[in-house]
A and B are shown apart, each in its own frame.
Chain A
Amino acid sequence: MLDVRNLRLQYGGIQAVKGISFDVQCGEMVALIGANGAGKTSTLKALARMLPQATGRVQLNPPGEAAVDLMRLPAHELVAAGVALVPEGRGVFARQTVLENLKLGAFRVKDRMLVNERLENLLERLPRLKERATQLAGTLSGGEQQMLAIARALMSGPRLLLLDEPSMGLAPIMVERIFELIISARESGVSILLVEQNARLALKVSSRAYVLESGHITLSGNSAELLQDDRVRAAYLGDAIS
């Protein structure tokens, strides 16, 4: 689905992403883990074309369709190509209602029936959002905002979902709800690239993972195996090596 080759990014003189390559297969959830400042957010923003200075080859390969060179698209065309980013810090429109936020997610979907269908379906599954549909998004709790941000991304009917630390700052019960939503999206066929601080959680829900360390990918592989890897356990899972 997504094929990234030699992605590089710098801010002024600082190299934040130093030529990384990775891929996400169709219908797969892949995790990207790493410490603070490793370059995870930078990577996602580069994929979403929010940082035009990024270089490298980023290809979207939807099954049965022509490949799309994402690096040639302006940021506002990405969602139309089937890529939706849920940014770090949620990025809901605080001054718009929950319902308006959801509808904005489907801004590029011209089929009204389809939009309403998705809306009803999501609100049915997310009663907390349904109850607060006419409330301003800025009045929601952090967890509710995260839920809204993901639901809004799903409104666009993405093929590839980029998630930047969806569990950040949330209580365990809320994290569980959020991940139920994410996992059900994957089960319905959405490919997912998940960036997480919570490495244990990320490795549990993903099939493969990449470890990012100051702009380089230093480890990669099967998530279940990485969960047992001594280096990963020491650095990211807080386990003492016995």
Chain B
Amino acid sequence: MDIFLQQIINGLVLGSIYALVALGYTMVYGILGLINFAHGEVVMIGALVSYSVMMVLVPSGLPPVLLALISVLVAAPVCMALAWAIERYAYRPLRHAPKLTPLISAIGVSILLQNLAMMIWGRGYHAFPDILPAIHFDIGGAQITLLQTVTIGLAAATMGILAWMIQRTSLGQAMRATAENPAIAELMGIPVNRIITLTFIIGAALAALAGLMVGANYSVAHYYMGFMLGLKAFTAAVLGGIGNITGAMLGGLLLGLIESLGAGYIEDLTGGILGSHYQDIFAFLVLIGVLVFRPGGLMGERVSERA
């Protein structure tokens, strides 16, 4: 088996998920300059709602793919409503407060949601049923499962649609204008508050999808999963250049690859002292590295405004 290629495949799966979540961070940051630290919790709620819906529907004997589809169709609106409420009640009243205030509010929301999830779903780990048949394809000495293929493909398609929406539609243009200068955007007749709400909601839909993907690929839905996943995705957003859409996609994929390859080789590299369960250190080494050497991230440079 080709470990290198295998880890690339695993990294792409992980990276696709990071990218979907990182987009939520970066879009909100781009438009409000706010780090929505509650976003990881939205992913967690998405995963757990998906899990519950599937569990309710399993006895119905529907094909598992359909279960997954229905579950995400329920989880996405739940996450969107949640994100709407978070923006409306935790952030909007603090729009003109000092930067630290909404950050504290975000942490408060996170703790609230974690505890709420713990009350509803308990402290255990919830294993997802198999969504897709355990088929795999061999490519060049490595294996890719059908689930992994679908995960990567779906994430790529979703991001493609998002990129098209932002670059080509008038709604996307309104979002870019609001991100660049909300006061002027209002002069153009753009309902800025509605655009902000929409940004949160779109990010939440991506989060719900990511939640399902995490659950399906790693079977790790539990009330605390949003914390680490959120931090990793935030790292990916910073790596790509926070506020930059393409950057978030790139940063997500790159971080997934780094972690995966790191986990695959860390044992050899350290002579067995550190095992693959140390994979988390890579993300944070990357975060520290970016913050020290390239705080703007990979795509962080912008056209400067000329007076």
Please list the residues of chain A having a beta carbon within 8 angstroms of any beta carbon in chain B.
Answer: 48, 50, 75-80, 84-85, 87, 89, 91, 93-96, 100, 103-105, 107-108, 136, 138-142, 145, 152, 156, 169
Contacts and interface: CB of A to CB of B under 8 A. Distances in A.
A78 B180 contact: no
Contact of B307 (A80, A96, A156, A169): A169
Nearest to B174: A107
Given A85-B187, A93-B176, A104-B177, A138 B307 contact: no
Q: Among B177, B180, B189, B304, find the residue whose CB has the most chain A CB atoms closer than 10 A.
A: B189
B177 A96 contact: yes
B197 to A, nearest CB: 14
Given A104-B173, A139-B303, A140-B306, A93 B181 contact: yes
A150 B302 CA distance: 24
Interface in B290-307: 302-307
B192 A138 contact: no
B188 interface: yes
B170 A107 contact: yes
Given A96-B177, A96-B180, A100-B173, A138 B303 contact: yes
A142 B188 CA distance: 20
12 contacts: A76-B189, A80-B189, A85-B187, A91-B181, A95-B176, A103-B173, A104-B174, A105-B188, A108-B188, A136-B303, A141-B306, A142-B307
B169 to A, nearest CB: 12
Contacts of B189: 76-80, 107-108, 156
Contacts of A138: 303-306
Contacts of B192: 76
B190 interface: yes
A156 B304 CA distance: 27
A212 B170 CA distance: 40
Contacts of B181: 91, 93
Given A76-B192, A138-B306, A91 B177 contact: no
Contacts of B170: 103, 107
A73 B8 CA distance: 55
Given A94-B306, A95-B302, A78 B184 contact: no
Give the 9 A-B CB pairs with smallest separation, nearest first: A108-B189, A79-B189, A138-B303, A75-B186, A91-B184, A94-B305, A76-B186, A104-B188, A107-B188
Contacts of A156: 188-189
Interface in B143-193: 170, 173-174, 176-177, 180-181, 183-184, 186-192
Given A91-B183, A104-B190, 15 more contacts: A75-B187, A89-B307, A91-B181, A93-B176, A93-B177, A93-B184, A94-B304, A94-B305, A95-B180, A95-B302, A96-B173, A96-B177, A105-B188, A138-B306, A156-B188
Contact of A145 (B173, B191, B306): B306
Q: Among A80, A107, A152, A156, find the residue whose CB has the most chain B CB atoms closer than 10 A.
A: A107
Contacts of B306: 94, 138-142, 145
A173 to B, nearest CB: 19
A91 B187 contact: yes
Given A79-B189, A107-B189, A95 B184 contact: no
Contacts of B174: 104, 107
Contacts of B173: 96, 100, 103-104
A170 to B, nearest CB: 12
Nearest to B303: A138
Nearest to A139: B303
A116 to B, nearest CB: 14
B181 to A, nearest CB: 7
A84 B184 CA distance: 11
A139 B174 CA distance: 21
A105 B173 CA distance: 12
Contacts of B183: 50, 91
B43 to A, nearest CB: 29
A48 B176 CA distance: 22
Contact of A93 (B180, B191, B304, B307): B180
A206 B152 CA distance: 63
A27 B187 CA distance: 22
A107 B169 CA distance: 12
B187 A87 contact: yes
Contacts of B184: 87, 91, 93
A79 B186 CA distance: 9
A89 B305 CA distance: 11
A79 B188 contact: yes
A2 B64 CA distance: 65
A221 B306 CA distance: 37
Contacts of A48: 187
Interface string B25-37: 0000000000000
A108 B185 CA distance: 12
Q: Among B180, B184, B187, find the residue whose CB has the most chain A CB atoms closer than 10 A.
A: B187
A7 B189 CA distance: 23
